[in-house]
Amino acid sequence: MKSAACLFSLLAALPFSTQAGNSDLPDLGDSASSYVSLQEEHQLGRLWLRQLRRQANTMESPLANQFLENLIYRLIPHSEVKLSDFEFVIIDREELNAFAVPGGIIGINFGIFLHARDEDELSAVLAHELAHLSQRHFARQIEQAEKQQPVAIAALLASILLIASNNADAGFAGLVTSQAASVQNQLAYSREWEREADRIGMKALVGAGLDPHAMPSMFQAMLQANRFSQRPPEFLLTHPVTENRVADAAGRAENYPHKPRLTSFTFDILKNQARMRYQLNAAEQQQHFEHQLTLNSKHSQPYAAAQLALAQLAADKRDAASGLKILQQMAAPYNEHPAAVSLQAQLLRLQGNNQAALKALDEALVFQPGSFELSSRKADILMADEQYDNASQLLKQLSEQRPGYPHVWRNLAAAAGKNQQKTLSHRANGEYLFITGFQAKALRQMELALKQAKKEGDFLQEAAISRRVRIMANSPTRFGN
Residue extents of the structural domains in the chain: 2-253, 265-474
Task: Output the pLDDT for position 125.
Answer: 92
Residues 6 or more apart in contact with residue 234 via CB below 8 angstroms: 93, 95, 96, 97, 109, 163, 164, 168
Q: Which of 40, 95, 118, 129 is catalytic?
A: 129
Give pLDDT tens digits for 218-236: 988 888 776 766 555 555 5
Question: Element (H or E) spanning 302, and its range?
Answer: helix 301-316
Nearest of 251, 200, 193 to residue 23 by alpha carbon: 193
Nearest of 429, 460, 461, 458 to residue 445 by alpha carbon: 429
How open is the CA angle 62-65-69, to the nearest 5 degrees? Answer: 130
What is d(CA 154, CA 9) in angstroms, rounded to the nearest whole number? Answer: 9
- The confidence band for 84, taking pLDDT boundaries of 50, 70 and 90, is confident
CATH number of 265-474: 1.25.40.10
| Inter-CA distances, 18 with 1, 79, 203, 274, Å | 28, 19, 18, 28
Stronger pLDDT, 237 or 380, i.e. the higher one: 380
Q: Does residue 407 have a known ligand-binding role?
A: no
The Cβ of residue 440 has, within 10 Å, a number of other Cβ atoms equal to: 10
What is d(CA 43, CA 25) in angstroms, rounded to the nearest whole number? Answer: 26
What is d(CA 240, CA 204) in angstroms, rounded to the nearest whole number? Answer: 22
Task: Output the pLDDT for position 427.
Answer: 98
Task: Output the pLDDT for position 243.
Answer: 83
Nearest of 160, 173, 135, 133 to residue 7 by alpha carbon: 160
129 assigned to active site: yes
Task: Output the pLDDT for position 38.
Answer: 73
Q: Which of 120, 198, 248, 268 is catalytic?
A: 198
What is d(CA 232, CA 244) in angstroms, rounded to the nearest whole number? Answer: 18
Q: Does residue 337 have a known ligand-binding role?
A: no
Stronger pLDDT, 149 or 422, i.e. the higher one: 422
Q: Given the DSSP bridges, would you call strands 105-109 and 98-101 parallel, antiparallel or unpaired?
A: antiparallel
198 assigned to active site: yes
Task: Output the pLDDT for position 42.
Answer: 82
Q: Does residue 290 have a known ligand-binding role?
A: no
User: DSSP readout, 175-194?
Assistant: HHHS-HHHHHHHHHHHHHHH
Task: Determine if the peptide bond prior to 77 is cis (ω within 30°).
Answer: no
464 pLDDT higher than 90 = yes
Give pLDDT tens digits for 328-369: 999 999 999 999 999 999 999 999 999 999 999 999 999 999
The Cβ of residue 238 has, within 10 Å, a number of other Cβ atoms equal to: 27
Global pTM reads: 0.86
What is d(CA 456, CA 452) in angstroms, rounded to the nearest whole number? Answer: 6
Handedness of CA 430, 465, 49, 120 (dihedral sign): negative
Q: Name the phi and psi angles at 368, rounded to 5.
A: -135, 65
Task: Output the pLDDT for position 393.
Answer: 98
Task: Output the pLDDT for position 239.
Answer: 56
Stronger pLDDT, 153 or 331, i.e. the higher one: 331
Handedness of CA 412, 417, 420, 426 (dihedral sign): positive
Stronger pLDDT, 173 or 41, i.e. the higher one: 41
2 pLDDT higher than 70 = no
The Cβ of residue 338 has, within 10 Å, a number of other Cβ atoms equal to: 25
Buried b (16+ CB within 10 A) or exposed e, 79-93: bbbebeebbbbbbbb
